[in-house]
């Protein structure tokens, strides 16, 4: 579902997507990271939140996103 919304660039559902950052399925949270640029005007706040996720895979994906965002 997250990837489908990203393909549509469905930014109008952004408030509802914020809840997905707490979804119990780590795959959903990772999909949110992969799709963040297409879904959020400013995804950094979501990435910072997910960088503290209890799942190591989610944390690493968010940290990688943050590192890439700092590059010029």
Instruction: Express each pLDDT in 35-67 by its tens digit.
Output: 888 888 889 999 999 999 999 999 999 999 999
pLDDT at 30 over 80: yes
What does the alpha-carbon distance between residue 70 and residue 34 come to, in Å, rounded to a whole number?
Answer: 17
Domain boundaries along the sequence of the chain:
2-70
What does the alpha-carbon distance between residue 56 and residue 14 come to, in Å, rounded to a whole number?
Answer: 24
Q: Is the overall model pTM greater than 0.85, yes or no?
A: no
Q: 45: which DSSP letter?
A: H
pLDDT at 13 over 80: no
How many residues does the structure list for the chain?
Answer: 72
């Amino acid at each position: 579902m997250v990837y489908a919304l990203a393909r549509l660039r469905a930014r109008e559902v952004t408030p509802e997507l914020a809840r997905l950052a707490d979804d119990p399925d780590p795959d959903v949270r990772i999909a949110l990271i992969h799709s963040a640029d297409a879904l959020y005007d400013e995804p950094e706040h979501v990435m910072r939140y997910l960088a503290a996720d209890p799942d190591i895979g989610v944390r690493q994906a968010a940290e990688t996103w943050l590192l890439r965002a700092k590059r010029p």
